[in-house]
Amino acid sequence: KQEVTQIPAALSVPEGENLVLNCSFTDSAIYNLQWFRQDPGKGLTSLLLIQSSQREQTSGRLNASLDKSSGRSTLYIAASQPGDSATYLCAVARGTGNQFYFGTGTSLTVIP
Amino acid sequence: KAGVTQTPRYLIKTRGQQVTLSCSPISGHRSVSWYQQTPGQGLQFLFEYFSETQRNKGNFPGRFSGRQFSNSRSEMNVSTLELGDSALYLCASSLSTFNEQFFGPGTRLTVL
């Protein structure tokens, strides 16, 4: 069974700081990996999708990398803002279909 | 274009009752997945439907069932509700296999 771990569980940083969130998975036979953010009591917002053949994806201040061989992905957030405060979740897909295995998330607080 | 919609947004039921949740995917998306989110277990995959066929199923009891209609709208049913079924139920839609997944706002189910 695929296990997905996210470290740290919580992170508090001052505004403007660059930061890295980590995601590790036990089975490297994945098809893709997707990063989401979740605001309290809300659904998930897609941030970046990395296909298994890709090494990284970028969107604005976000950059996600994927290293299948080591079972790791990182989400880099540049110049953090208070609006970035949310829980960040990574999810990996394997097998047939769109079954995602989710990590437990990193709760990010950006202090003004 | 319109995002994923879920109805109702909130539900309160009592033990032993049954409940039906609805999900309308993004137009053109053929895959609909359902997830249960609880503070203790995080996000867990329930099942996925693709072109009206269940393609994947998570490790949940048979009280949890679903279906998909020809217009890709999906319903999830939980029979004989238990207190532990209280959760946020999230629906995700995707164009096809291994494409980006988009989540709805969720249905908050409370079982008393």
Is the Cβ pair B94, A31 closer than 8 Å? no
Cα(A66)–Cα(B49) distance, integer angstroms: 28
CA distance to partner chain B, nearest, from residue A34 (Å): 7
Q: Tell me what pLDDT residue B86 has.
A: 98
Q: Tell me what pLDDT residue B1 has.
A: 67
Token digits for A88? Answer: 């960040």
Residue A40 contacts B, CB cutoff 8 Å: no
Cα(A86)–Cα(B89) distance, integer angstroms: 19
Cα(A103)–Cα(A8) distance, integer angstroms: 11
Is the Cβ pair B48, A97 closer than 8 Å? yes
Between A29 and A12, where is the model more confident? A12
State the pLDDT confidence band at A1, using cuts at 50, 70 and 90: confident
> Is the dihedral angle over the CA atoms B54, B60, B62, B66 positive or is it negative?
negative
CA distance to partner chain B, nearest, from residue A36 (Å): 10
Q: Tell me what pLDDT residue A25 has.
A: 94
State the pLDDT confidence band at B111, using cuts at 50, 70 and 90: very high
Interface test with A, best of B26, B43, B47, B57 (most A CBs within 10 A): B43
- Note the pLDDT tens digit of each residue in B51-109: 999 998 999 999 999 999 999 999 999 999 999 999 999 999 999 877 899 999 999 99
Chain A residues lying within 8 Å of B103, measured CB to CB: 36, 43-46
Q: Tell me what pLDDT residue A94 has.
A: 77
Average pLDDT for A9-21: 96
Q: Are B48 and B31 in contact (CB under 8 A)?
A: yes
Average pLDDT for A59-65: 97
- In chain A the beta strands, taken as DSSP E runs, fall at 4-7, 10-14, 19-25, 32-38, 44-51, 56-59, 62-67, 72-77, 86-93, 100-102, 106-111
Q: Tell me what pLDDT residue A107 has.
A: 97
State the pLDDT confidence band at A59, using cuts at 50, 70 and 90: very high
Cα(B81)–Cα(B41) distance, integer angstroms: 18
State the pLDDT confidence band at A29, using cuts at 50, 70 and 90: confident
Residue A34 contacts B, CB cutoff 8 Å: yes
Coil, strand or helix at B50: strand
Q: Tell me what pLDDT residue B20 has.
A: 98
State the pLDDT confidence band at B29, using cuts at 50, 70 and 90: very high
Average pLDDT for A75-85: 97
Cα(A2)–Cα(B39) distance, integer angstroms: 20
Q: Are B31 and B91 in contact (CB under 8 A)?
A: no
Cα(B3)–Cα(B105) distance, integer angstroms: 10
Phi/psi for A83 (5° steps) reads -70, -10
Let me know the angle formed at the C-alpha of A50 by A62 and B3, rounded to the nearest 5 degrees: 80
Cα(A2)–Cα(A74) distance, integer angstroms: 18
Q: Region of B93 please: left (phi>0), alpha (psi -120 to 50) or beta.
A: beta
Residue A75 has pLDDT above 90, yes or no: yes
